[in-house]
Amino acid sequence: MSFDTTHDPELKSWVPGANAADTDFPIQNLPLGVFRLPGQAHGRPGVAIGDQVLDLAAAAHAGALSPEAARALHGCWDANSGATLNPLMARGPAARRALRQSLSHALADGAAAQAVLHGCLHAQGEVEMLLPCQIGDYTDFYTGIHHATAVGKLFRPDNALLPNYKWVPIGYHGRGSSIVASGQALRRPNGQVKGPNDEAPRFAPSQRLDYELELGAFIGGGNALGEPIAMAQAEDHLFGLVLLNDWSARDIQAWEYQPLGPFLAKNFGTSISPWIVTPEALAPFRRPFSRPPEDPQPLPYLDSPANRSQGSLDIALEVWLQTARMRADGQPHVRLMRSNFKDSYWTLAQLITHHASNGCNLSAGDLLGSGTQSGPEAGQGGSLLELSHGGKQPIPLPNGEARTFLQDGDSVELRAACEAPGWRRIGFGRCEGTVLAAPPA
């Protein structure tokens, strides 16, 4: 990835909150999303800057964006149907970069557009964040080797990783219709469960509800049916990243997953953070990708010089939990774990290339989940299944409560940020969801 003036760590914004050292959204980030104003029926496209949202429709209407940026946004909002970023996504990386350049120039300290754009800002705390685009298809991968190994040991102590894991990116098709934006509560699912001593399954609320800490990758420009995407072009099809919580009902999953894999244990709800962080914002945090020398190296179609030199991303990931009692007592979320996406066994480019390697056509707005991102150390599990060792070791909380799996009223919050010497911190915002009681079974 190349750097330009938008990455300058000394660049300041005339929006005060964007200059705070701990903000997720400095002017070097400029993530994209869709928001709704109070009392409005439809959403509008926006960009996060500090603690504010810049209304992109209003900015374009005021003539504060470059002609190239205005063209990039064409079709992203309509007075009758609302907003979606799909048209921008479909236009590819050149349009996205033109928009970033224009926004960086307009929001920089001393910019002539300040007087016009000041009226296009809204406090993030006063708007409702919506899904950023129409999600056509959703595929969840299994790239976290530490998660795969830990879970495998729980179910197959003598054969934790299946033979194909180190050769092929494992994934399954999820359900796009049940993806929701951060802040929306989800009901505990009902489903068939069968304990080890049960004579027959029963239909009941899940008692082993879990979260999974993941990243989500949105596809930009797609490919035609039958035309694979080569590694050299894979990242041209990447629009940006969000946090993703792949809520999981472990007891339903254990009964249903053989022989075809996850189904109702996964598709009752998936939460994503509302702001899409672009590849340009993440450029300073690229890292080399490599495999242990004793492991199989990627097959040629999943390999490239660029992927080896900068295919990995240094993104610190965290899970925070707040119980209903903590909330009632005014106590904030507490951190349960921390890991890093650079430990992923496969890169984003490899996921995109493999998904299309059989000619499968990807489309703008499709979403790829990374799989649970656990770390190599004890206590770095990206799910309660790992942290509680399959429910056998309750996790103590500071207020005296404990958890093996989620209870009704629990709020799970995912957080992520990139930090490196000489660069501004780039955050993802938060992905939060609260567990509601199951409907009557």
- DSSP summary character for residue 13: B
The predicted structure's pLDDT at residue 196 = 86
Q: Which residue in 293, 297, 310, 276 sits closest to 428, CA to CA?
A: 276
Going by DSSP bridges, is the β-strand pair 270-272/286-287 parallel, antiparallel, or unpaired?
unpaired
Say how many C-beta atoms besides its own lie within 10 A of residue 358's C-beta: 8
Where does 8-94 show beta strands of DSSP type E? 32-36, 44-49, 52-55, 77-78, 82-83
Q: Which residue in 439, 441, 377, 387 sits closest to 412, CA to CA?
A: 387
Q: Return d(Cα 292, Cα 298) in angstroms, integer.
A: 11
The predicted structure's pLDDT at residue 219 = 98
What is the chain's pLDDT, residue by residue, as a tens digit (441 residues)?
679 999 999 999 999 999 999 999 999 999 999 999 999 999 999 999 999 999 999 999 999 999 999 999 999 999 888 999 999 999 999 999 999 999 999 999 999 999 999 999 999 999 999 999 999 999 999 888 888 888 888 777 777 788 889 999 989 889 999 999 999 999 999 999 998 889 999 999 999 999 999 999 999 999 999 999 999 999 999 999 999 999 999 999 989 988 888 899 999 999 999 999 999 999 999 999 999 999 999 999 999 999 999 999 999 999 999 999 999 999 999 999 999 999 999 999 999 999 999 999 999 999 999 999 999 998 999 999 999 999 999 999 999 999 999 999 999 999 999 999 999 999 999 999 999 999 997
Q: Return d(Cα 359, Cα 153) in angstroms, integer.
A: 34
- Tokens for 274, please give them: 């509302």
The predicted structure's pLDDT at residue 339 = 98
Q: Which residue in 398, 341, 338, 176 sits closest to 266, CA to CA?
A: 176
The predicted structure's pLDDT at residue 162 = 81
Distance set, CA 30 to CA 23, 52, 412 (Å): 12, 11, 25
Say how many C-beta atoms besides its own lie within 10 A of residue 265's C-beta: 26
Q: Which residue in 434, 421, 347 sits closest to 141, CA to CA?
A: 347
Which residues lie across from 242 on neighbouring strands? 216
Q: Return d(Cα 184, Cα 182) in angstroms, integer.
A: 6
Measure the CA dihedral 299/303/309/313, to 10°.
-90
Q: Which residue in 268, 214, 397 sits closest to 322, CA to CA?
A: 397
Assess contact for 424 and 417: CB atoms under 8 A. no
The predicted structure's pLDDT at residue 44 = 97
pTM: 0.96
The predicted structure's pLDDT at residue 60 = 96
List residues with catalytic annotation.
Answer: 147
The 52-55 sheet, strands edge to edge: 121-123, 52-55, 44-49, 32-36, 128-130
Distance set, CA 11 to CA 102, 180, 239 (Å): 14, 34, 24
- The DSSP line for 217-266 is EEE-S---TT----HHHHGGGEEEEEEEE--EEHHHHHHH-TTT--STTT
CB-based contacts of 315, cutoff 8 Å, min separation 6: 215, 241, 282, 285, 340, 341, 342, 416, 417, 418
The 334-340 sheet, strands edge to edge: 186-187, 426-436, 411-418, 316-322, 334-340
The predicted structure's pLDDT at residue 373 = 97
The predicted structure's pLDDT at residue 1 = 65
Residue the block writes with tokens 């989940």 = 369
